[in-house]
Amino acid sequence: MASHFEIELEKLKNVIIKIGNLAENQLIEAVKALLSEPMAEKKEVKKNEEKIDKLDVKIDEICQTIFALQQPVASDLRFIMASMQISNEIERIGDLAMSVIKNSKNIKDKHDLIVKFNVAELAKQVEEITIKMNQCFLDRSETTIGEIFVLNNSIKKGTDDTIHNLMNEMKSNSKAVVSGMNLVMVLKHLERVSEHCTNIAEHVHFMIKAKIIKHEKFDDKQ
C-alpha cells in the first residue's frame, strides 16, 4: 500500500503532467494561429489559460503542504523543488502562447511572410521541443534532455537568422514594418518558449541526477 506521502507525491506528479499537457495544447493552438489565416480566438484557448494559472497556484499549495508536513529529503526534496520551478516555467509557456496568438492577428499577408522566411519550420521545432519537455518529465530520460538542449540551440540560431532577414526586409520595404515587427515579436515569444522548455529539462536533470546545470554553457551541458 502506498504511504500517505507517496500519494501526495503522485498527486503532485499528476498535476504537473496535466498543466504540461495544457501548455503543450496552447502552444499547438498558437502555432496554428501563426501558420494559418486569421481565425476567431477559440474560447477553449482562453479557458485553458485560466486552467493553467489555477493549476500553477495549486502546485504551489501542494508543495507548501508537503514541505510543512513531510519534511522531504534527497530525491523527494529534489522532485518537489523541481516541481515548483517546472510549474512556473509552464505557466510562462502558457502566457507566451497567448501572446503568439495575439501578435499573429496583426500580421498582414502572413502567408507570404511565413513562406519567405521559412517561419513554419521554426514554429514546428518549438512545437517539438514543447512535446519533448513533457516527455522528459514523464520518462526522466537523459537522452530526451540532451535532445532538448540541441533543439533549443537550433531554435535560437534559427530565430536570430530569421529576425536578421526580417530586419533587412523592413529596411528595404517600409510597408512590411508593422507585420514584420509583429512577426519579430512572435519569433521572440517562441524562442522564449524554447528557453522555458530547456529550463524545465534542466530542472528534470537536477531531479534525476542531483546536479544543478542551469546557467551552464551549451557545450558543458552536453
Binding-site ranges for other proteins (CB under 8 A):
3, 5, 71-78, 210
Which amino acid belongs to residue 170? M
For residue 107, which phi and psi values (nearest 5 degrees)? -95, 115
CB of 216 to other proteins, least distance (A): 18
43 versus 211: smaller Cβ distance to other proteins: 211
Shorter beta-carbon distance to other proteins: residue 58 or 78: 78
- Smallest gap, in angstroms, from Cβ of residue 75 to other proteins? 6
State the minimum distance, in angstroms, from the CB of residue 219 to other proteins.
24
Nearer to other proteins, 75 or 118 (CB): 75
The single residue listed with the C-alpha cell 523527494 is 76
The C-alpha cell that represents 199 in the structure block:
529550463
Nearer to other proteins, 41 or 76 (CB): 76
Q: Which is nearer to other proteins, 32 or 78 (CB)?
A: 78
Helix orientation angle between 43-70 and 74-105, rounded to the nearest 10 degrees: 160
Beta strands in the chain (DSSP E): none
Closest distance of CB 67 from other proteins, Å = 12
For residue 66, give the nearest of 56, 55, 77, 50 by alpha carbon.
77
Of 81 and 185, which CB lies nearer to other proteins in the complex structure?
81
Please tell me the distance from the alpha carbon of residue 75 to that of residue 60, in angstroms, as a whole number. 18
Give the shortest CB-69-to-other proteins separation in angstroms. 12
Q: Cα separation of 158 and 127, whole Å?
A: 14
> Could you tell me the smallest distance in angstroms from the CB atom of residue 70 to other proteins?
9
Q: Which is nearer to other proteins, 70 or 106 (CB)?
A: 70
Contacts of 148 (CB under 8 A, 6+ apart): 129, 132, 133, 136, 197, 198, 201
Q: In the Cβ-directed half-sphere of 25, how many Cα atoms lie within 13 Å? A: 15
**Shortest spacing between CB 181 and other proteins, in angstroms:** 47
Q: Who's near 151: CB < 8 A, 6+ residues apart?
A: 125, 128, 129, 132, 194
